Amino acid sequence: MSAETWRKILVPIAFIVAVLAVWEWLVWVYDLPDFRMASPSDLLPKFWQFRELFLVKSWETLWRTVAGLGLAVIFGTALGMIMGFSKIAREGLYPLLVGFNAIPKATVVPIVALIFVGQHDFNTILIAFMISFFPIAVSVSIGLSTLEPEYRDILRSLGASNFTIFWKIALPKTLPEFFGALKVAVTLAFIGTNLMEIVSPHGRGLGDLFDSGRISADYPLMFAVLFALAALGIFLFYIVVFLERIFAGWAERTPGQ
Amino acid sequence: MTSQIELRAVTHAYKTAAGPLPVLDHLTLDMPKDTFTAVVGPSGCGKSTLTRLVSGLMRPNEGEVWLAGEKVTSPRPTVGMAFQNPVLLEWRTILQNVLLPLEIVKSKMSKAEGLERAKHLLELVGLAGFEDKRPSELSGGMRQRASLCRSLIHRPEVLILDEPFGALDAFTREDLWCTMHDLREEEPFTCLLITHDLRESVFLADQVIVLSGRPAHAQYVLNVDIPGNRTLDDLYTPKAVEMLAVLRHQIQVAQGRASTADEPLAEHAPAASAKEGMVQ
């Protein structure tokens, strides 16, 4: 490996270690008890103690987040396409969409839990979906509606159909915006899942493990859950980055070009 | 010679909030097969509208557009187009960009033939070795060359150029003018060029049409009589300078800054042929 690759790996690790060390040191200096502030050294035993629960609950959180995000991608892209191609749909739907997005989803959780009482997986996926489709719909619609007319004309002057124009030009041209939105949406969907798991407890997901830590005043467990959530979030984010490299790598330019 | 592009009393107006905005007024043009026609005129006189009408992207309010003996009602695959913006697709390589029209047009060309033709065209415009580069790796002039190859890949009978060299620097522009001559020498096609550059029009075209101010009609037709292979030196002969002066005067007339009556260069104007001179 080259020196640069090493630097790229070692510098972030060094910073993470430094932050953890300062945290540990602060807890030690101020002599904070476990129930006020957990220290990083408390976390590993907790992970080990609840290792099976962590695996099971992480999986529950993960698959429901991905399911909600998947729905958001399908629905958001479809909505974005309608709004991108039809000016009337854009004018009509935009205020509605902005209004819906402005509602804090924490307030929607109890309502959803009441409407579909007992359908825990469905409820959680629904919230993850509701919170994350907005950026996708907006970015796809902007990507499509700002397509320069010359791009259309190049194909239209050859007699291409609207579908061909969409498939050959509009869709690939929108991909960088789409993946930008997907990076935001993946984090939002994750928030949505946890919101449901914590605000409307039903014994599933990492949110439930967090809640049981809260109830039993087990601070180290709560912090351990935070770390597990962060790890899952990073994992999902980099899957999106990986997909972006494959499908929209052309949009990335090295400096100087 | 049979005419390839014919406009018969084409009148067109755009709908705006303030009412209809007439752009073309009984415009009648005739472009014989395999000739090069340049259209010049004041800004906003409807030159780009003209390209959209000829390519079938738009239909005129009144009058008819004919291509190769057929009335134009919709876009047709025998037309190639290039714009001021080269509009290359950034996610494709240069070669893939050039091949794009073949994916749309049902062509008799096989895939291998198309590939060979694309490489040949790229070589002709000086882009050999750049086939696998992305558009973002090329300069503006190179992108415009690739765009020209794309507009010619499907062997169109008619090439429509809407100020393709307008955004380039003077030297690159002159280079591309010569490339245009090379391309036409390789295979004949009828070309309609929209431009603001009078030197460009004289260097490239067989006939230069001056449009009047909006709503535009053909105000003046100049037959460019430079025989043989043209070189840039031909632009600096007394004859070419005279032609440029006449065109410049006509543009001023179109802009309303001069009248035909006080035409100072009238006695120096090239000898009028049957078709040449004032129209309407």
The 10s digit of each residue's pLDDT in B161-209 is 998 888 888 888 888 888 888 888 888 889 999 998 888 998 888 899 9
Residues in chain A with CB shorter than 8 Å from the CB of B104 are 155, 158-160, 164, 168
Q: Count the Cβ atoms, other than its own, within 10 Å of residue A10.
A: 10
Q: Count the Cβ atoms, other than its own, within 10 Å of residue A135.
A: 22
One domain for residues A23 and A90: no
Residue A36 lies in a domain: no
> Nearest-CA distance from A146 to chain B in Å?
14
Q: Which two tokens stand for residue A253?
A: 């330019």
Contact A154 B77 (CB under 8 A): no
Q: Which domain holds residue A12?
A: 1-31
The answer to whether residue A70 neighbours chain B at the CB level (below 8 Å) is: no
One domain for residues A107 and A212: yes
Contact B87 A154 (CB under 8 A): yes
Flag whether the pTM goes above 0.95.
no
> Nearest-CA distance from B21 to chain A in Å?
21
pLDDT digits (tens, 9 = 90+) for B137-169: 888 888 988 999 999 898 888 999 998 888 888
One domain for residues A135 and A214: yes
One domain for residues A97 and A209: yes
Q: Count the Cβ atoms, other than its own, within 10 Å of residue A99.
A: 9
Q: Please provide the DSSP assignment of chain A as one string.
A: --HHHHHHHHHHHHHHHHHHHHHHHHHHHTT--TTT---HHHHHHHHHHTHHHHHHHHHHHHHHHHHHHHHHHHHHHHHHHHHHH-HHHHHHHHHHHHHHHHS-HHHHHHHHHHHTTT-HHHHHHHHHHHHHHHHHHHHHHHHHHT--HHHHHHHHTTT--HHHHIIIIIHHHHHHHHHHHHHHHHHHHHHHHHHHHHHS--S-HHHHHHHHHHHTT-HHHHHHHHHHHHHHHHHHHHHHHHHHHHHHGGG---TT-
Q: Which of residues 109-138 of B touch A (CB under 8 A)?
A: 134, 136-137
Confidence band, pLDDT 50/70/90 cuts, at residue B271: very low
Q: Is B91 helix (H, G, I), strand (E, B) or coil?
A: coil
CATH architecture of the domain B3-78+159-165+196-278 equals: 3-Layer(aba) Sandwich (3.40)
Residue A107 lies in a domain: yes
Is ipTM strictly over 0.95?
no
Residues in chain A with CB shorter than 8 Å from the CB of B83 are 150, 153-154
One domain for residues A210 and A122: yes
One domain for residues A168 and A95: yes
Q: Which of B254, B190, B194 is nearest to B218 (CA)?
A: B254
pLDDT digits (tens, 9 = 90+) for A67-96: 999 999 999 999 999 998 888 998 999 999
Number of domains, chain A: 2
One domain for residues A129 and A153: yes
One domain for residues A89 and A122: yes
One domain for residues A139 and A161: yes
CA distance B102 to B120: 15
Largest CA distance in chain A: 76
Residue A257 lies in a domain: no
One domain for residues A26 and A86: no
pLDDT digits (tens, 9 = 90+) for A10-61: 999 999 999 999 999 999 999 888 777 888 888 888 899 999 999 999 999 9
CATH of the domain at A186: 1.10.3720.10
> Nearest-CA distance from B245 to chain A in Å?
34
The answer to whether residue A160 neighbours chain B at the CB level (below 8 Å) is: yes
Supply φ then ψ for residue B32, to 5 degrees: -65, 160
If you measure CA to CA, which chain A residue comes closest to B96?
A168
